Homo-oligomer: A and B are copies of this chain.
């Protein structure tokens, strides 16, 4: 049976060749040349089997998603991804699983230009922690506390697909491929996040659900928000699952389900056009769904202009 060193040697010795990685996988610690004149951005997210992904998720999807959720955090700040560290806990030494996992992990690294620089493997329940470091031009990071009353609230894509796919799986039903793709292969807004930081000060990634994440913004920025429910972008697969009957209760997944990893940004209406242009040039979308208010609290307004009471409850990991 292979031991920890052989596992690392076999599967995770990186083939990356970034010049700023002076010492990568295999020593006590990695040594890195920080990008000159930039600030560092660091995030760490753990995915646990049965909590953050269904147990039947493929090793390839788990590897992809463990990177994607971290790159999404970097995108929310506007950072360029640089390096990753991986802590992998596995119940047994399953070579086939590890091979599929590591292949997908390395492919995803390559796709986003990041390099795996270290970490460890341990025996335990299936759990993947990825720590990602990125960088941002000094003073340019987007933050949760930078929303201002009057700002437009923008999201980058349809919401609720991942939560809907998960709910279908949990009910033992089949989920449409496009929804499953959104659950297992969320696309972090890496390029748009960086470009958006040129004109936008405030963003968050929607990992806990739109209302919960928006509340992080309004809490940190000491303001409130008004959401136009009819403007929430929904995929056609989402609509079809509800027979195109998008009542308020059928919006729940879109409003409180997390895991889509779209960005929610707040920017002045003057900058909105520029942000939309930037999105277009990145192949991303911008949907204006409401505005920041001086009055605290998040108010959801339906198509008839009526206030609708929706509890702000994001996905609770704990």
A6-47 with Cβ < 8 A to chain B: 7, 22-23, 26-34, 39-46
Contact: B118 with A44, CB < 8 Å? Answer: yes
Distance A2 CA – B22 CA, assembled complex (angstroms): 43
**A41, A44, A76, A79: residue with the most chain B Cβ atoms closer than 10 Å:** A44
A77 within 8 A of B: yes
A133 (CB) vs chain B CBs: closest residue:
B42
Contact: A125 with B124, CB < 8 Å? Answer: yes
Distance A53 CA – B154 CA, assembled complex (angstroms): 47
Binds B, one of A54-62, A136-144, A247-255, A281-289: A136-144
Given contacts A44-B87, A317-B121, whether A32 and B39 have CB atoms under 8 Å apart is yes
Q: Point out the residue from B2, B30, B93, B318 that lies within 8 Å of A2, measured CB to CB.
A: B318
Contact: A48 with B318, CB < 8 Å? Answer: no
Contact: B93 with A42, CB < 8 Å? Answer: no
Interface size class of A (residues with CB under 8 A): 35 or more
Contact: B144 with A85, CB < 8 Å? Answer: no
Contact: A31 with B41, CB < 8 Å? Answer: yes
Contact: B123 with A48, CB < 8 Å? Answer: yes
A112-133 with Cβ < 8 A to chain B: 117-125, 127, 129, 131, 133
Distance A127 CA – B87 CA, assembled complex (angstroms): 11
Query: From residue A196, how far is it (CB to closest CB) to chain B in Å?
Result: 13
Instruction: Mark contacts of A77-117 with chain B using CB atoms, 8 A cut-off: 1 yes-contact digit, 0 otherwise.
Output: 10100010111011001000000000000000000000001
Contact: B30 with A318, CB < 8 Å? Answer: no
Q: Point out the residue from B2, B32, B120, B204 that lies within 8 Å of A45, measured CB to CB.
A: B120
Distance A33 CA – B7 CA, assembled complex (angstroms): 34
Residues of B within 8 A of A122 (CB): 46, 48, 51-52, 317-318
A22 (CB) vs chain B CBs: closest residue:
B39
A73 within 8 A of B: yes
Residues of B within 8 A of A205 (CB): 28
Query: From residue A6, how far is it (CB to closest CB) to chain B in Å?
Result: 9
Residues of B within 8 A of A93 (CB): 318
A166 within 8 A of B: no
Residues of B within 8 A of A316 (CB): 3-4
Question: Top 8 A-B pairs ranked by shortest CB distance?
Answer: A29-B43, A34-B34, A28-B76, A48-B124, A44-B85, A32-B40, A28-B73, A131-B131
| Cross-chain pairs A/B with CB under 8 angstroms, 9 sampled | A1-B318, A3-B316, A28-B74, A29-B74, A34-B39, A44-B129, A48-B123, A52-B122, A87-B129
For the complex with contacts A32-B39, A43-B118, 18 further pairs of A-B residues with Cβ separation under 8 Å are A3-B317, A22-B141, A29-B76, A29-B134, A30-B43, A31-B41, A32-B42, A42-B118, A42-B133, A45-B87, A46-B89, A46-B120, A46-B122, A48-B89, A52-B122, A120-B317, A122-B317, A129-B129
